[in-house]
Structure 1
Amino acid sequence: MDDTAETFHSHVEEILEALAKEPDHEALVHHDRRVSAGELRALVYGMARALRSQGVSRGQTVTLLSGNLPETIAARYAAGLLGCAVNHLYAGLSADVHADILRDVETRALIVDPAHRERAADLARRVPLERVLVLGAGEGAGEGEGEADGPGPDLVRLAAEESTEVLPGSARPQDICTIRHTGGTTGHPKAICTTFEQWVSIGPDWSEEGQVRALACTTLAHAAGLMADSTLHRGGTVVLLDGFEAGAVLAAIERERISHTFLLPPLLYQLTDHPEVDRTDTSSLRMLTYGGCASSPARLAAAVRRFGPVLNQFYGQNEAGGISILSPQDHDPRRPELLRTAGKIMEGVEVAVRDADGRDLPAGEHGEICVRSRHVMKGYWKQPELTAEVLRDGWLRTGDIGFVDRDGYVTIVDRLKDMIVVVGGHVYTVELEDVLNSHPQVLQSAVLGVPDANLMERVHAVVVRAPGADVGEEELRAVVRERKGAMYEPASIVFVDALPLTDAGKPDKKLLRSRAAEPAPSP
C-alpha cells in the first residue's frame, strides 16, 4: 500500500469521524424514528462488513434503488467506505432504463428498500446481478437470496450480526466514488463519474452560527444527498421526508425548526402557493437553496417576499460540480435584473463563454458556458468518445447557452438542445418562459420546440394559469410580441392544471414534447 493510500481519508471517513464527536446527537429523523449519530455510525460499519461478507469490494459498483430512509444513507456510506462506486437510481425511471443503467455500470450489488422489492425482482430477471440486498425485510420479504418471496437477503439484519468497531476505509483518491446519471429527459441517461478525491469536503459551506437542521424532501439520489452529506459532516441533523408534498414540507419546517433545505424551482413555487403558507411558522429557515432548472424572476420575488432573505440559487451540473451562486443578499425584488442571473462564479471555478469554434467571447455576448475546476467530472462511464466531445484540456462544455456580464454575474438563457431554431434566428426558451411567467395570471410555463409537418421547429408553450385566471392564447401572444417580437410568438399555447415533473423535480419537457407531437383527436 502506498503512502497516499495510507494517508487519504475519504468524505465517508470524515463524516464518520464527525458522527463520533457527539454520538448522542440526533443525526437523522424519519417519521417517528430519531437516529443518533452513534447509531448511524454503528450501522455504517456493520453494513460495510456485511457487504464485504457478500463479496463486495473496492472498485466494484454498488447500485441503490431506495427512498429517503436512514438505511439508504447508511448503505451509501458503507459502500463508499469499502471504496466502491455508488450509483443511485431515480425511482421514477422505467424498468427498461433501470436495466440499461445496471448493465452499463456493471453493478456488483443492487441494494433496494422494501418498497422497490418487486422492481428489484424484475431487474434480477433482466440483468445478471451477483447480489440483490434489501434494506429491511418489510412484509413478506424472504430470508434468503433467490427465494420466491423476496429478491435477496436483508442487509440490515446482516449488519446487525457484524461488529460495529471502526473499519478503515479502502478508497484511493482516484477511485470512482459516484456514478451519477442524467435524468434521461433528453435521451438515454449518461453515467457521470467523479472520484473520491473530488468528493472530499465537497458541498456548501454553512459556516454561519447555529445548528443546521436540513430537510431532505427531494430524492437523495439528487442534490438532497449532497445536502445530507454536508449537514452530517458539520454535525447537523437531517430530517427525511419520503417525497415532496408542499403541505408536508411546510409542516416539517415548523415542527422540526428546519434551517436549510433544497428545492427545484417548480417545487419552490408550489411551496409559495400553498394555502397553509401564511399560517406556517417558517422563521427557522436560514437558507432555502434552489436550482436544477430555469427559474422565474417574478416567482422568485414572490418567494422572497414570503420567506424573507433566505433564497440561495445554486447553478451547477453533475458533470461540472458547482459553477455559480446567487446569494440571499442578491435576491432583491427591487432588482429583477439580478433575479434573472445564476449569480457570481464560485471560488476555485473558472468560466469561459465560447462560440461554436471554441473562441472566447467578451462580457455580455451569448455563447456556450465552459467550466474548469477540481470538481469537473473525470468523464462518462466507458464512453471515451462522448467524454472527448465535452471535456477538452480540463474544460467542460456544459451545453448551456449564456453570458457573463461585466460585474461577473452568470446568466443562462437556454440549453443548447432546448434552443429553438426558427426562421430568422433562435428562440431561447428561458427568455420566453420569463415573459410568460411575468403575466399576473400565469403561475408557470414551459416552452419547447415541436417539429411541424415540414420538420421545421415551431414554438410551443405549455402554461399553468393562476387560480381563477382566464387569460387566453391571444392575450399571451400579444404580450410576447410586445416584449420579444414576432419571432418569439408561440405557434401554439396549451393550458394545463400542472406541469409534469421528472423524478428529480424538473419540468418534463421530453413528455411535453411527445404530447405536443401527438396528432389532434378527430372531431
Structure 2
Amino acid sequence: MSITSFLHEAMKYHPHGDALIHEDRITTYEGLADHLSRFAAAISTLNLDFQKPMGILSLNSDKYIETMLTAAWLGGIINPINSRWAMHEIEYVLNECETEILFVDQNFTSIVNDLKSLCPNLKHVVYLGNDAHPEYLNYSEMIQHPYSVADAQVADDQLAAVCYTSGTTGKPKGVMLTHAHIKDNARIASGYLKNKEGYAIQVPPLFHIGGINWLFQVLQRHMPLVILKGFDVLEVYRTIEKYKITESFFVPTMLQMLINSPRSKDFDLSSVKRLVYGGSAINRQLIINAKDVFPNASFVQFYGMTEASPCVTVLDMDAHQHDQNLKPGGYPLSQCQVKIIDSEGKELPCNEVGEIIVRGSNVMLGYWKKPEESKKALKNGWLHTGDGGYLREDGFVVLADRIKDMIITGGENVYSTEVENVIMAVEGIDMCAVIGIPHEIWGESVHAVIIPKAGYAFSKDVLDAHCRKYLSAFKCPRSYEFVNELPLSGAGKILKNVLRSKYSQ
C-alpha cells in the first residue's frame, strides 16, 4: 500500500478529526482527502512524466505535507529540496532529477526565474503561499479543481521519494526510497512510543529524512500534527504550551538550545510525555539535563541515516532507565540486522570498534543515477554506513563516531563524541564540537570548539584539569577555541567539515 494508506484508514474511523494544524489553520482528514484528490486532478492536466521526481522548495507547512502526499496519490516521486542549499546545489539536483515541476513558497520565489533559466526541464512552478502569485500556478486555486481523481494506491515497492544527502563530502546523492521504506520504518519506530493520544509537533525540516519519518510516525497513528515552519526556541515553547503538545522530535542541537534557554521556566512544558531525539550523536549530559526542562517526558532515541529510511536502532523508554544505556545507539529495529567490520571487511567481536553495516527491508534501493556510488555503499547486500561503533554482548549498538570524524593522533584513535561528552559535563558549556586539526608531528591533534553560556569564561588550565580526570592523556584537547556559534546543517547537525576546513592549510 502507498504511504497515503493512513488517510483511508482515518477516513473510516474519524473523518472529521484534526489532521494538520499550521498557523491556526486546521485541516481535517476529510478536508485533507479532498485537497489531495483535487490537487492531484489539477496536476494531472499538466502532462508530466511522473517518473521524474517533483521538486519542493519550501519551509515546513501544511501545504508542504499536502504536496508530498499528492505526489504519492498520483503515483509520482517527491524530491524534498534542502532549503539551506546554495543556488548551484539546487540547480544540480533539479537537473539530475530532470525535474519538470517545482513547488515553492513565498520564501523562494526570488530565485525561481534563475532556476528556470538554469534547469531546461523545468516546465511548471506551483506557488504554495497563502496569497496568489500572478506568474505561477497557485495551490489555492488548484485545490478548487472542479473534479477529483482517486488515489493510485501504488505498490509497496514503487519509488516514493528521492531524498538528497547534504553533500558535505561531495555532490549531493539522491537516496531512492520506496513507499514500503518510508511507511514501514515509521510504523515500526512509532511502535516504541506506545500511544496514539494527544498532539504532536513537527519542528525538524521536511526536506530531511528525520522530519519525514517523524511526520509518518504521527500520521499513521492518526494524531493531530501541529506544524512549525522552522525551529525557534520561543515558538516551540509557545506551541507546546498552547496545544498541550504530548509528543515531539528534536535533533540534539535543537534539544540543546531548548534546554539551555533561560526562558524554559517561563512556559508550561509539562504536557510533553514522549520526547524523541536522534539525527546525530548526543552527549550523556544532555539527556540528563533534558529531564529538568521536560519533567514528565519519557525519552526515545533513534539512530540511523537517510539510506536506512532512516531508523536502524532504538533506545526505548524502558532502556533509558538504565544508566549504562545513556549513550548514542540502541538495539536494532526488528527489520534490521547490524554487524561491525574492520577495514578489510572482517566481522569484529563484541566491544571492538569498527564500521557499522546494516542489512534489512529498510535499506535504500540505491542512489539516483549513481550506480558506482550505489555499488560502493551496498556491498554484498549490506549498507556500509561510514559510522564507527561496536556491539555489546547484549546486542546494544554503541555509536562511537563518524569514521571521517575520528581523530588519529600519534597513531591512536580518538572518538570526538567521547571527548565532547566529557567537556559538556562542565557547568557553563553551551555547545561543543571536537575535531582533529593538522599537526606536524602527531598527524592530528585534538581541538575543541566551544560555545560558553552567557556569563561564563574558561581557561585552558581549568578545562585541561577536568579532561585529565576522565580521559587518557592522548584524548585530551591540545587546544581550545571559543566561539559564539557553530555551523549547522539544515537538519541541525554540527558541520565538522566546515570547522576542519579552517585548519586544512
TM-score using structure 2 length: 0.93
Matched, 1:435 2:422: yes
Task: Write the distance in 2 (CA, Å) between the matches of 1:66 and 1:132.
Answer: 16
**Compared CA separation, residues 424 and 510, structure 1 to 2 (3 A):** closer
Counterpart in the other structure of 1:313: 301
Partner of 2:137, secondary structure, is coil
The answer to whether structure 1 residue 155 and structure 2 residue 139 are counterparts is yes
Instruction: Provide the residue aligned with 1:4 in structure 2.
Output: none
More deviation, 279-288/260-269: 279-288
Q: Which residue of 1 aligns with 2:63?
A: 71
Shift of 1:262: 0.9
RMSD between superposed Cα atoms in Å = 2.2
User: 1:205 is matched with which residue?
Assistant: 190
Once the two structures are superposed, residues 142-173 of structure 1 have per-residue CA deviations (whole angstroms, 9 ceiling, x without a partner) of: 2xxxxxxx3x3213312312423x51316344
Equivalent position of 1:39 in the other structure: 31
Residues 63 and 111 of structure 1 are in contact (CA less than 8 Å); yes or no, is this contact kept in structure 2?
yes
Deviations 1:435-480, CA, capped at 9 Å, x for gaps:
1112223222101223357894332211111332222223223333
Q: Which position in structure 1 is the counterpart of 2:4?
A: 12
Amino acid at match of 2:299: L
Mapped contact 1:259–1:286 kept (Cα < 8 A)? yes
Contact 2:4/2:153 (<8 A) preserved: no
Mapping for residues 395-410 of structure 1, pairs under 5 Å: 395-410=382-397
CA distance change for structure 1 residues 474 and 188 in 2, over 3 Å: closer, same or farther?
A: farther
Which residue of the other structure, out of 261, 282, 286, is the alignment partner of 1:299? 286
Kindly state the Cα deviation for residue 73 of structure 1 after the two structures are TM-superposed. Answer: 0.8
Amino acid at match of 1:179: V
Matches within 5 A, 1:74-473: 74-136=66-128, 141-142=133-134, 150=135, 152-164=136-148, 167-169=150-152, 171-203=154-186, 204-206=189-191, 208-222=194-208, 223-308=210-295, 309-320=297-308, 321-332=310-321, 335-452=322-439, 456-473=443-460
C-alpha contact 2:183 2:216 (8 A) present in aligned 1: no
User: How far is the alpha carbon of 1:137 from its aligned partner?
Assistant: 5.5
Q: Normalised by the size of structure 1, how large is the TM-score?
A: 0.90
Question: 2 CA distance for matches of 1:275 and 1:238?
Answer: 27
Unpaired stretches in structure 1, ≥5 consecutive residues: 1-8, 143-149, 519-523
Q: Alpha-carbon deviations, 1:65-121, whole Å to 9, x = none?
A: 011111111111111122212110110111111111111222121111122111222
Letter of the aligned partner of 1:315 in structure 2? Y
C-alpha spacing 1:57/1:100, structure 2 compared with 1 (3 Å): closer
Following the alignment from structure 2 to structure 1, what is the Cα–Cα distance between the partners of residues 8 and 63? 15
Residue deviations 1:483-523, cap 9 Å, x none? 322322323211112323211111122332234457xxxxx
Note if contact 1:44-1:77 (Cα within 8 Å) is conserved in structure 2: yes
Give the Cα separation in 2 of the matches to 1:444 and 1:192: 31
Query: How far is the alpha carbon of 1:366 from its aligned partner?
Result: 0.7
**Aligned equivalents of 2:150 and 2:442: distance in 1?**
60
SS in 2 for 1:107: coil
Aligned to 2:48: 56
Q: How many residues align?
A: 499
Shift of 1:279: 3.4
Q: Distance in 1 between matches of 2:494 and 2:202?
A: 20
8 Å contact from structure 2 (residues 95, 121) kept in 1:
no
* Cα pair 1:28 1:36 within 8 Å, conserved: yes
* Segments of 4+ moved more than 4 angstroms: 137-140, 452-455
Match of 1:147 in 2: none
Q: Distance in 2 between matches of 1:375 and 1:511?
A: 30
Alpha carbons 2:6, 2:222 under 8 Å: kept: no
Shift, 1:328, TM fit: 2.1
